[in-house]
Amino acid sequence: MTSAKDEAQFTARTLSEALPYIQRYAGQTIVVKYGGHAMVDEELAAMFARDVVLLKTLGLNPVIVHGGGPQIGKLLDRLNIVSEFKGGLRVTDEATMEVVEMVLSGPINKSIVRAINREGGRAVGLSGSDGRLIQAEKATKTERDPGSHIEQVLDLGFVGEPTAVDTSVLDALLKADSQLIPVVAPVAMGADGHRYNVNADTAAGVLAAALGASRLLLLTDVAGVLDKDKKLIRELKVADIAGLIEDGTAAGGMIPKLETAAHSVNHGVGAAVILDGRAPHALLMELFTEHGAGTLIS
């Protein structure tokens, strides 16, 4: 049976072993895409908020970009609005876009802000439309027909593809109060005046690149990128990603995650990690232990 003294020594040893990692990331920007089960499970959500505050306390600069697919889906069902997915992305017509913006920029964003603030942090909620933080245009995506192998153009409605990022609103906030933790909803505005639903992984990736982040952490509901035998791939090079998509090893919602990881690394982010948000303290395991918590793309 473990005694209280043994537990205390284990905690102290863990903190001591984390020191080199804490020193490595001190002062660095870490962009976290937050979503999936980690966001709807109350215990995991509270743990995530506490861990984000710890990152800030240890001298890191976390920026949170959140999704909200399950919550959007529930409200669409309640309103009898039919929604479908193509290429891992939600097709967004005008009625769906109304719900997307209401849910993402409203209750979800503010619930994350409140959770972080309850743990002693100083979070502030934004959307990509604020201060033209994320600008977007209508996304053009193609998908290969499994039968004919012909590329087909997908009409995703008001799904947006980022065209530019202006971090001046974040810079101004952090200059005014360096302890603030930005929480960003992935709703953007286009030059055409339309609002666009931007995939949260994609939004996190372009923000990470614009901010020169040391790490982009993409929380998901699987252990990471899995091979054909469903075993975790612990490390990937950007050059490996196209092959995984082409042969079907990566499919559905994993495709935009891998594309985001590749884009962010190619545009200056130190590395991207696709990690299991269902694992308690996944952020801390990835950043402050040798083991890590998912698939590292470099």
Confidence of residue 93 (pLDDT cuts 50, 70, 90): confident
Give which of 184, 267, 258, 269 is closest to 225, Cα–Cα. 258
Q: According to the model, what pLDDT value does residue 121 have?
A: 97
Confidence of residue 241 (pLDDT cuts 50, 70, 90): very high
Q: According to the model, what pLDDT value does residue 201 have?
A: 92
The CATH number given to whatever domain includes residue 68 is 3.40.1160.10
Rg (CA), the chain: 19
Q: According to the model, what pLDDT value does residue 153 have?
A: 61
In a domain, 146, yes or no: yes
pLDDT above 70 (res 149): no
In a domain, 206, yes or no: yes
In a domain, 41, yes or no: yes
In a domain, 9, yes or no: no
| Percentages (nearest 5) of helix, strand, coil residues in the chain | 45, 25, 30
Q: According to the model, what pLDDT value does residue 18 have?
A: 81
pLDDT above 90 (res 256): no
In a domain, 63, yes or no: yes
In a domain, 21, yes or no: no
- What is the total count of domains within the chain? 1
In a domain, 134, yes or no: yes
235: left (phi over 0), alpha (psi -120 to 50) or beta: beta
DSSP state letters, 221-260: SSSS-B-TTS-B--EE-HHHHHHHHHTTSS-TTHHHHHHH
Q: According to the model, what pLDDT value does residue 289 have?
A: 86
Containing domain of residue 265, as a range? 26-297
In a domain, 128, yes or no: yes
